[in-house]
Structure 1
Amino acid sequence: MNLQQASYILKVYECGSISAAAKALYVSQPALSHAIQVVEKEIGARIFDRTTVPISLTYAGERYLEAAKQLMELNHNLSLQLEEIKKEESGRLVIGVSTLRGAVFLPSILPEFHRQYPSVEIKLVETGSTQMEEMLLNGKVDLAFLISVQEKTHQIEYLKLCKERMVLYAGKNTDLAKRIPPFSEISIDEAKNETFVLAKKGHGVRSMQDHMFFELGMEPKIFLETESVVLAKNLALSCDMVALYPETLVTNRLPRSSIQESYYFIKGEEYTREFYLAYKKGAYITKYLAAFCEIAQNIPFHAHPLVQDWAEDGIAKNYP
């Protein structure tokens, strides 16, 4: 359906005659009549009953005009949307993030972002961090959350969000929990006699664990290995074992008197990881992509400043 032809037919119907419509459209009457004939030939039916005054629609004409109005409305809406996109008030932002990290970062970023850009569609690509750089370079994602980039790619811009320590969760009946107040800073060798629940090889946390054990010459007792650090933590707590866990995933914000979980901060700068928000250099940076980055950089992504304050205040020493 040709939009110009459709607008001509609508105008003829509104004006009640071809001659009146031709004047309103600033076209000649023969040109307008020819345009109507072209459409009638295309659909194989007459659109107007020319025997009536004012001119009226045939049944085929009614169906045609109904569809024409819908098409013109769609075209109008598209024009408005494209105008918004030109102003960068709407669009789509494709974000690459692991499921666990998305649960940490996105609830802090998206409320403010959605307030500023309610018409921007968010699409998540949830996969492992190791695949994110390639997806950025291939244009499959606009932004990606990355962990501990060892060798930075010159084609990618990295915005540092935070540094993360590892914590060691310990069941309440472990020797470690009985000897040392929770939320203390410890060396991993304090847990050398404990039984570990480990992340499987290939997991970022497992790489950190293996490095720790190698540096200290430890050969830990292992209960089992799992793909899920959350499962590792929960098993350690329920089975009176220990498990290493990323600091930013800690979610316990219970009142002081209600703390059920015991964990310890691992000493050593070499046992920290850095988090980045990244995008491809040279890519067009929309206003909303820049806003997302700014919001993310202004949020203090730290695990439990309250818990750390409690330990500094000596509260951990009184923990039962």
Structure 2
Amino acid sequence: MFVKNPEYFLAIVKERSISKAADRLYLSQPYLSQYLAKLEANLGVTLLDRSHTPLRLTAAGELFHAYLERQGYLDRQLESDLQQLQEKKRQQLHIGVSTWRGSTLLPDILPRFAAKYPDVQVVLHEAPVPQLGNLAASSVTDFCLMHTPGNLTDLSYELVMHERILLISHKDHPLVRGLDSPCSAPLPFGDLRQLEHERLMMLPEDWRLSRLLYNTFNVQNVEPVNILTTTNNTTAINLVAENMGFTFLPESGIHRTPYMDRLSFFTVGDPPLTCPMAVVYKKNSFLSPATRAFIALIKDFYRQFDRGSALSDP
């Protein structure tokens, strides 16, 4: 579908005013009003609710606006891809991921992807979890792998799995000594109040996983008094391996720790606590065949860890 001067409509939506959009575009207000009226007549729908100040999009307007935004992205992507072909540059796939998630996932995924798409250059954007959504929303990445975002204003996501959160301790800790509880078959921990005076290695309070865990503490009337905050899950599990306390980690990344023989693993709650993991990208964005292939590999790999939605963060 060809839309003449789509930037006019986009400016009206951004300014939420025909007069302000006209000033921004260096057009007269009557001319821009005529443009909008002709556009609505051609489409056969009303795009803006003029009974409100500032202007509001109608349902048809929301759909049309999303179409124009996606069309603009596709045009820019096509120009970039054609330019890369002309300059004989490799196609790039930008992936956002936390440092720990990347270190535990990519060794299993990247070799398979590279074998199928040898001409695609993967560019990693490793960032703290709270920043990943911003990378996707600003189109810095093609997609991010992260817990489902709380704000979906500019984002879409595809659920990958509900991942169990495991409590990890050293095998010689007095609370678990003598228990046979490997990662492959973790026992339920029981009463979390036993951990109130133990050292807990936790991610920052505003991170999604910590919010889920602190809610669990509240529900079970647990008030931890010895918390060591870290932004790196590797730091947490390394300290546990030295019998310095307990930590909570997503199940899927644990298999690459070198200290499995020192550690015991436990589920939390009944049913076991899980957290939703998703592929997140900018709303209405175009996902190339290579991007889709990488996402398919991620979903296939994580299928073994999907525990359903027994108890998860909403």
TM-score (norm 1): 0.59
Greater relative contact order (CA < 8 Å, ≥ 6 in sequence):
2
Equivalent residue runs for 1:282-293 within 5 Å = 282-293=284-295
Aligned-pair CA distance for 1:241: 2.7
The CA deviation string for residues 184-222 of structure 1, in whole angstroms up to 9 with x for no partner, is 122352633651223243344432332222111112241
Q: Contact between 1:164 and 1:302, CA under 8 Å: does it hold in 2? A: no
* Structure 2 counterpart SS, 1:231: helix
Q: 1:162 & 1:93 partners in 2: Cα distance?
A: 22
How has the CA–CA distance of structure 1 residues 107 and 263 changed in structure 2, closer, same or farther, with 3 Å as cutoff?
A: same
The CA deviation string for residues 103-151 of structure 1, in whole angstroms up to 9 with x for no partner, is 1222222222111110111111111232222222222111111213345
Deviates more, 1:94-103 or 1:233-242: 233-242
Q: 1:219 & 1:285 partners in 2: Cα distance?
A: 45
Q: Contact between 2:163 and 2:306, CA under 8 Å: does it hold in 1? A: no
How has the CA–CA distance of structure 1 residues 217 and 179 changed in structure 2, closer, same or farther, with 3 Å as cutoff?
A: farther
Question: Residue 166 of structure 1 aligns with which residue?
Answer: 165
* Structure 2 counterpart SS, 1:93: strand
Aligned-pair CA distance for 1:275: 0.9
Question: Residue 48 of structure 2 aligns with which residue?
Answer: none
The CA deviation string for residues 145-176 of structure 1, in whole angstroms up to 9 with x for no partner, is 121334534x4331222221111112233232
Q: Contact between 1:96 and 1:126, CA under 8 Å: does it hold in 2? A: yes
- State, as a whole percentage, how many aligned pairs show the same letter: 21
How has the CA–CA distance of structure 1 residues 114 and 237 changed in structure 2, closer, same or farther, with 3 Å as cutoff?
A: closer
Q: Which ranges in structure 2 are unaligned for 5 or more consecutive residues?
A: 1-81, 308-314
How has the CA–CA distance of structure 1 residues 137 and 241 changed in structure 2, closer, same or farther, with 3 Å as cutoff?
A: closer
Is 2:91 aligned against 1:91? yes
Q: 1:294 & 1:169 partners in 2: Cα distance?
A: 30
TM-score (norm 2): 0.60
* Structure 2 counterpart SS, 1:195: coil
Q: 1:304 & 1:290 partners in 2: Cα distance?
A: 20
Equivalent residue runs for 1:69-218 within 5 Å = 81-82=85-86, 90-153=90-153, 155-178=154-177, 180-182=179-181, 183-189=186-192, 191-192=194-195, 195-199=198-202, 200-218=204-222
RMSD (Å), alpha carbons: 3.3
Aligned-pair CA distance for 1:225: 3.2
Q: 1:278 & 1:304 partners in 2: Cα distance?
A: 18
How has the CA–CA distance of structure 1 residues 150 and 179 changed in structure 2, closer, same or farther, with 3 Å as cutoff?
A: farther
Q: 2:194 & 2:250 partners in 1: Cα distance?
A: 17
Q: 1:242 & 1:151 partners in 2: Cα distance?
A: 31
* Structure 2 counterpart SS, 1:262: strand
How has the CA–CA distance of structure 1 residues 108 and 194 changed in structure 2, closer, same or farther, with 3 Å as cutoff?
A: same
* Number of corresponding residues: 221
Question: Residue 228 of structure 1 aligns with which residue?
Answer: 232
Q: Contact between 1:172 and 1:240, CA under 8 Å: does it hold in 2? A: no
- The structure with the largest alpha-carbon Rg is 1
Q: 2:246 & 2:141 partners in 1: Cα distance?
A: 37
The one-letter code of the counterpart of 1:156 is L
Q: 1:204 & 1:295 partners in 2: Cα distance?
A: 24
* Structure 2 counterpart SS, 1:219: coil
How has the CA–CA distance of structure 1 residues 79 and 161 changed in structure 2, closer, same or farther, with 3 Å as cutoff?
A: closer
Q: Contact between 1:95 and 1:142, CA under 8 Å: does it hold in 2? A: yes
Flag the structure with higher helix content.
1
Q: Which ranges in structure 1 are unaligned for 5 or more consecutive residues?
A: 1-77, 306-320
